[in-house]
Structure 1
């Protein structure tokens, strides 16, 4: 039961911290990792590759998750993370973003994708990491 609660808390925190694209890729890689273990390939290069990618996705996953226990179940009632830059009150409105956008830009796929990539770059700069390796 404790392991299940820890897993649920981790997944909830990932929803706050991980970019949706990274989370989707991590989910697929987790299946590859499980298949490698199930098939006895623990010492294989493909398992190592997948595991490194999964660990890379987890490097910013830190924070607090508040749970409430009620009638034998646990419910997430709050979560917070200092490492999350996916949501900010200032960035949730086009009026406060300093990007010279027009309302027509929101229909463009590239402009929407740029939001998450800009936040990713800002996090790397804040952490002192190079933008490209």
Structure 2
């Protein structure tokens, strides 16, 4: 199922849970009252979500999240509009895949690592040592177009 956690592994003691209910209960157990399990899962999911989506895709997804919450709050859980919003959110998750490592400490959840086969990050593209398909001259047109609204001339 899209958007579902598939595994939780405790690197300290080797405990591993793969069943959705078991991993949720396990996070509840280790988190006690200081560390809400929903926050653990949400933090990890949002991190891999951001790591595998482009900025515009992510902005639309965040707007849909808010819209969905509003629809449910107003009692439209089973309405056609809510079904459509749910479908859009699920569709946005089809390319979200990866592993997030978090550290739980005194009620906080900190992301300490992530990896994804679908990551948008490319070390080669951001390297100053490797000439890829990007030509810095291309930025001139982009800067000029964005500067038009300010009446700035860039010659």
Pair in the same fold by TM > 0.5: yes
Q: Measure how far apart 1:35 and its partner are.
A: 1.2
Counterpart for residue 66 of structure 1: 101
Aligned residues: 107
User: Normalising by structure 1, what TM-score?
Assistant: 0.71
Among 126, 132, 138, the residue aligned to 1:105: 138
1:25 aligns with 2:60: yes
Report which of the two structures shows the higher radius of gyration computed on alpha carbons: 2
Query: Counterpart of 1:65 in 2: which secondary structure?
Result: strand
Hey, which bits of structure 1, 4+ residues long, moved more than 6 A?
none
Show CA shifts across 1:2-42 (max 9, x none). 11100000011112111110110011111111111111112
User: Normalising by structure 2, what TM-score?
Assistant: 0.62
Q: Which runs of 5+ in 2 are unaligned?
A: 1-35, 144-155
Q: Which runs of 5+ in 1 are unaligned?
A: 111-133
Query: Counterpart of 1:35 in 2: which secondary structure?
Result: helix
Superposed, 1:1-133 pairs within 5 Å as 1-84=36-119, 86-93=120-127, 95-98=130-133, 101=135, 103-109=136-142
Query: Counterpart of 1:42 in 2: which secondary structure?
Result: coil
